[in-house]
A and B are shown apart, each in its own frame.
Chain A
Amino acid sequence: MPAVSKGDGMRGLAVFISDIRNCKSKEAEIKRINKELANIRSKFKGDKALDGYSKKKYVCKLLFIFLLGHDIDFGHMEAVNLLSSNKYTEKQIGYLFISVLVNSNSELIRLINNAIKNDLSSRNPTFMCLALHCIANVGSREMAEAFASEIPRILVAGDTMDSVKQSAALCLLRLYKTSPDLVLMGEWTSRVVHLLNDQHMGVVTAAISLITCLSQKNPDEFKTCVSLAVSRLSRIVSSASTDLQDYTYYFVPAPWLSCKLLRLLQCYPPPEDGAVKGRLVECLETILNKAQEPPKSKKVQHSNAKNAILFEAISLIIHYDSEPNLLVRACNQLGQFLQHRETNLRYLALESMCTLASSEFSHEAVKTHIETVINALKTERDVSVRQRAADLLYAMCDRSNAKQIVAEMLSYLETADYSIREEMVLKVAILAEKYAIDYSWYVDTILNLIRIAGDYVSEEVWYRVIQIVINRDDVQGYAAKTVFEALQAPACHENMVKVGGYILGEFGNLIAGDPRSSPLVQFNLLHSKFHLCSVPTRALLLSAYIKFINLFPETKATIQEVLRCDSQIRNSDVELQQRAVEYLKLSSIASTDVLATVLEEMPPFPERESSILAKLKKKKGPGAVSVTDLEDNKREGGELNGGGDRGPDTSAMAASNASTPSPSADLLGIRSAAPIGAAPTSAGSLLVDVFSEAGPAAPSAAVNDDGFLSSAPPSEDPAAPLSEADDLLNKFVCKNNGVLFENQLLQIGIKSEYRQNLGRMYLFYGNKTSVPFASFSTTVSCPGELQSQLNVQSKPVEPVVEGGAQIQQVLNIECLTDFSEAPLLNIKFRYGGALQNLTLKLPVTINKFFQPTEMASNDFFQRWKQLSQPQQEAQKIFKANHGMDTEVLKAKLLGLGMALLDNVDPNPENYVCAGVIQTKGQQVGCLLRLEPNAQAQMYRLTLRCSKDSVSRRLCELLAEQF
């Protein structure tokens, strides 16, 4: 037998690996692996007890097999056994196997925890480190439960070895990340912060990650770290390159630690203490100065390390945004890097400059680099760098340079990588709108956008140009002329046809005076594109045609001819056929006046936040590309009428045929929506539920006994419902749309639709101020038993609501069974730093799920009698609150959702209604009788329902309405 080479070789392992490497094909490899797996399995299962060495060898083989991408479903027990070995090598391989292969859900955790416990108390630093590593790698909750109290003790104990301290710090960090509620720092806080002063740089390196994370979560408790970090940084920065010995990396003293210290400082505002601040500014200046010194080495590692610190220092300067002097120096430094031969530095400089551009002190300084950045956009070989350049151009754009930047971005679009085109298009569209002084430039830009990158122009973009043209009469003529010219191109993008069709349909008359663009020429031009277009575009064109008939009576005959041909009125597409038939009919029977009214010019769209901006924000701010949820967004934009977002086509349709069930007229779209039955109750809403039951006065500790919640600032909990929440709710019993809530900051509007047991509610959150709301979030919860009665699903909202802007949220509601409580809507956001927290009741009441039922007098009374059990009836006599006007009463009763039955009650003064409440589980028949007594200004309200709880609830609700 050969001697073991280097003392660590395992021949069997080496042979196996060589075998695998010699395999000629994937099949051979799999075969060899399966053979080995069988061999190992039989060894593990065999009667002969394996010695530690063999176990180690087999576990190593399994690791290798795993790395090749094969599942390993055994060997875990053997690895756990290795943990309790006294031999280092065996213990170590056991831990390795577990950290690579065992996830936090494993059933073996308890056994592993036992081994870890032994090793932690062994006082053998090597074993302790292995155990700490294992905890940090697996990081399960069970481990946190077992060790969260032990680790801080190890971390701060005086006699702990440095290497163990390092491991303990990161181990604790991992546990804090996975189970913050179990790691209670309290008494340890100050000792942990003081690790920043530790003599051993390795300990500081590990500890600073822990402190940074804890500071982010509890800034106040850890704020003493600021002065300690500054003094540590200052000592490093001012040290000679030899002072720190091994922590000097290519002549740069402790670069990693410097970066981390600068990062830690970015968790806090500038130090208030003048001396500390002075010292820090000095450090930052030294770092900036060093950048100008000649390099101490030509190695790239030297400049890397130096620049790593420099970039972090610049980030800190930008974060403080309070030292104009430093900001300008930072900007100049970045400017140098923009032209550096190292691609990495150019990339990072572009990225940092993007944040710098938003500072008022340095915006102008950033703008001076425009030519360099444009050049980068044109010439960089690396798409990641080009993308950063495009981001920076977007960030540095203002009124003074918008035309130049937009032109450059447009010309870049022609060659841009496919991966970033959509985002580029959005950015161009936003800049063009934001900085447009003359709107003809805007129209030109968007049409160019469609011409160059039509495929990447989303609906939002072309909706928006139409909205703007409709709202500004100074540009309508120009727009009509320009689209007319653009449509002359033999091949133009379908989006161009849409915009063209829409604009000519509305404003074609403005250019009709010129014989070269006479009505018939316009029509023929549009119609020449018709057959190449998709169904939605054709539908839009048909609407444009009927508008033409109104604008230009002389085209009527031609257009009717077109509508009448088989390919239109017998089109296989229902939507197209319907439009053709209806428009044809409309044009032949309606008088000119009627036509003029029905097909009137579109009214201006209400101004609100650009939908394009919202879409770009969805893409996670400047620089990020990810296309998710956009489909939804688009669809809603088209369906949800009434706002500025509406698709132009839908509105044209709505004008012409409000009663026909076309897809776009289906406001709800509930039928096609995904089933809402899935369990929506997230942990978050559970928490809220508990709160709303406990009430605001109950101590939060009672809610969750692990104490995490009680340490959170109380204001973060959802507030108790407003005192007027019930009144607000009552306003909506008989109506579905309106303003739910309004104060100086915020307005919340509601639109809702119900069908059978389903509903959809649109919430509009309007920022009434000029300051953005930050960290905007909303939570909908169903308190108590409502949870099992009503299913409410909401989509998350944008975290920022810009000043003056409005955002929208959609809720899907499903009624499972009858209910009495209302769901709660909690809204939180920061306004100028102060947390705003309010809770409202969502006006979802049982009557929303009414289906009206018409019936004759005798039917009504027959059923009335059937519902004669005492608990089925609820009755209330109350004073009129709102006057007793007949029409108002009728409107309210209709709004209630029941059918208002005439000629049923023998007394014509009385009102009777009938309806069926649709829930998922059952239908509840309801009859209502309201008897006004005008003399006494009183009502008697009687409800009889097939379910007694419904009678009571309806009676309660309605008594507030009259």
Chain B
Amino acid sequence: MIKAILIFNNHGKPRLSKFYEHYTEDTEQQIIRETFHLVSKRDENVCNFLEGGMLIGGSDYKLIYRHYATLYFVFCVDSSESELGILDLIQVFVETLDKCFENVCELDLIFHVDKVHNILAEMVMGGMVLETNMNEIITQVDAQNKMEKAETFIFQSTRQDR
């Protein structure tokens, strides 16, 4: 099971946090900090797996991460998941984001937190993997975008927006 999915940048600023188990807000923030601390001090080219921090469950859990340009994508999983499988899943997630945002960058994640959550929700649900086929995911996301657009044009033409 996936316990948490975290994205933060090279400075530890969270860009997405999704917990599939309940923690208090404080603990969630501490977990993000702890995870950043564990992951960021690692060299490039070392392995992509390490034991989880104490807050997230210690050695029963693994952190599996990838580092892309300015962002770290970290999945915290238990022993029932295949490490390499999760690495591939991260890749699918990133490629999907890349397709949806057309060359995704950190700013896209900042300004479209809700979108990122929706895309993730098409892949992972309640800590389990829902779909791994990128085209299927994108089809769902596109369908949502269409509905959204239709509604936007009907209900919102011009307005003072602040």
Interfacial chain A residues near B58, Cβ < 8 Å: 626
Interfacial chain B residues near A347, Cβ < 8 Å: 47, 49
Pull 25 A–B residue pairs with CB atoms less than 8 Å apart, ordered by A.
A1-B160, A7-B153, A53-B159, A64-B113, A69-B14, A89-B147, A92-B118, A99-B121, A126-B143, A136-B126, A166-B130, A170-B130, A209-B129, A246-B134, A256-B129, A301-B88, A301-B91, A311-B82, A312-B82, A344-B49, A381-B46, A382-B42, A385-B46, A620-B60, A625-B51
Q: Is A60's CB under 8 angstroms from B45's CB?
A: no
Q: Which of A88, A201, A255 contacts B85 (CB 8 A)?
A: A255
Q: In the complex, which residue of chain B has the Cβ closest to the Cβ of A72?
A: B25
Q: Is B114's CB under 8 angstroms from A14's CB?
A: no
Complex CA distance for A307 and B147, rounded to whole angstroms: 40
Q: Could you mark each residue 139-156 of chain B with 1 if its beta carbon is under 8 Å from any beta carbon of chain A, else 0? A: 010011101110111011
Q: Is B113's CB under 8 angstroms from A11's CB?
A: no
Q: Is B125's CB under 8 angstroms from A170's CB?
A: yes
Q: Could you mark each residue 65-80 of chain B with 1 if its beta carbon is under 8 Å from any beta carbon of chain A, else 0? A: 0000000000000001
Complex CA distance for A623 and B150, rounded to whole angstroms: 55
Q: Which of A21, A171, A620 contacts B126 (CB 8 A)?
A: A171
Q: Could you mark each residue 10-41 of chain B with 1 if its beta carbon is under 8 Å from any beta carbon of chain A, else 0? A: 00001111101010010001001000000000
Q: Is B155's CB under 8 angstroms from A53's CB?
A: yes
Complex CA distance for A132 and B121, rounded to whole angstroms: 11
Q: In the complex, which residue of chain B has the Cβ closest to the Cβ of A201?
A: B133
Q: Is A166's CB under 8 angstroms from B131's CB?
A: yes
CB distance from B2 to the nearest CB of A (A): 11
Interfacial chain A residues near B126, Cβ < 8 Å: 133, 136-137, 139, 170-171, 173-174
Q: Is B144's CB under 8 angstroms from A92's CB?
A: yes
Interfacial chain A residues near B88, Cβ < 8 Å: 249, 255-256, 301, 304-305, 308
List of 10 A-B pairs having minimum Cβ-Cβ separation, nearest first: A136-B126, A308-B84, A382-B46, A174-B126, A343-B47, A7-B149, A624-B59, A209-B128, A256-B132, A347-B47
Complex CA distance for A959 and B86, rounded to whole angstroms: 68
Q: Is B133's CB under 8 angstroms from A88's CB?
A: no
Interfacial chain B residues near A555, Cβ < 8 Å: none
Asked if B158 is an interface residue, CB under 8 A from chain A, the answer is yes
Interfacial chain A residues near B85, Cβ < 8 Å: 255-256, 259, 308
Q: Which of B84, B117, B128, B162 contacts A311 (CB 8 A)?
A: B84
Q: Is A247's CB under 8 angstroms from B133's CB?
A: yes
Interfacial chain A residues near B45, Cβ < 8 Å: 343, 381
Q: Which of B80, B131, B143, B151 has the most CB of A within 10 A?
A: B131
Q: In the complex, which residue of chain A has the Cβ closest to the Cβ of B51?
A: A384
CB distance from A373 to the nearest CB of B (A): 16
Complex CA distance for A518 and B143, rounded to whole angstroms: 91
CB distance from B149 to the nearest CB of A (A): 4
Q: Could you mark each residue 55-81 of chain A with 1 if its beta carbon is under 8 Å from any beta carbon of chain B, else 0? A: 001001001101111010000000000
User: 6 extra interchain contacts, Cβ-Cβ under 8 A, other than A8-B149, A173-B128, A174-B128?
Assistant: A67-B17, A92-B144, A246-B134, A249-B132, A344-B84, A385-B47
Interfacial chain A residues near B155, Cβ < 8 Å: 52-53, 87
Q: Is B59's CB under 8 angstroms from A626's CB?
A: yes
Asked if A346 is an interface residue, CB under 8 A from chain B, the answer is yes
A contact face: mostly helix, strand, loop, or mixed: helix
Task: List the interface of chain A (C-beta within 8 A of B).
Answer: 1, 4, 7-8, 10-15, 17, 21, 52-53, 57, 60, 63-64, 66-69, 71, 87-89, 92-93, 96, 99-100, 103-104, 126, 132-133, 136-137, 139, 163, 166-167, 170-171, 173-174, 201-202, 205-206, 209, 212, 246-247, 249, 255-257, 259, 263, 301, 304-305, 307-308, 311-312, 343-344, 346-348, 381-382, 384-385, 620, 623-626
Interfacial chain B residues near A256, Cβ < 8 Å: 85, 88-89, 129, 132
Q: Is B117's CB under 8 angstroms from A96's CB?
A: yes
Asked if B110 is an interface residue, CB under 8 A from chain A, the answer is yes
Interfacial chain B residues near A384, Cβ < 8 Å: 46-47, 49-51
Interfacial chain A residues near B151, Cβ < 8 Å: 87-89
CB distance from A299 to the nearest CB of B (A): 10
Interfacial chain A residues near B133, Cβ < 8 Å: 201-202, 246-247
Task: List the interface of chain B (C-beta within 8 A of A).
Answer: 14-18, 20, 22, 25, 29, 32, 42-43, 45-51, 58-60, 80, 82-85, 87-89, 91-92, 110-115, 117-118, 121, 125-136, 140, 143-145, 147-149, 151-153, 155-156, 158-162
Complex CA distance for A876 and B49, rounded to whole angstroms: 72
CB distance from A163 to the nearest CB of B (A): 7
Interfacial chain B residues near A257, Cβ < 8 Å: 132
Q: Is B113's CB under 8 angstroms from A67's CB?
A: yes
Q: Is A133's CB under 8 angstroms from B125's CB?
A: yes
Interfacial chain B residues near A346, Cβ < 8 Å: 47
Interfacial chain B residues near A623, Cβ < 8 Å: 59
Q: Which of B25, B129, B162 contacts A71 (CB 8 A)?
A: B25
Interfacial chain B residues near A304, Cβ < 8 Å: 84, 87-88, 91
Complex CA distance for A53 and B144, rounded to whole angstroms: 16
Complex CA distance for A104 and B19, rounded to whole angstroms: 13
Q: Is B132's CB under 8 angstroms from A136's CB?
A: no
CB distance from A109 to the nearest CB of B (A): 13
Q: In the complex, which residue of chain A has the Cβ closest to the Cβ of B158?
A: A1
Q: In the complex, which residue of chain B has the Cβ closest to the Cβ of A175?
A: B126
Interfacial chain A residues near B18, Cβ < 8 Å: 100
CB distance from B130 to the nearest CB of A (A): 5
Interfacial chain B residues near A12, Cβ < 8 Å: 161-162
Q: Is A88's CB under 8 angstroms from B156's CB?
A: no
Interfacial chain B residues near A301, Cβ < 8 Å: 88, 91
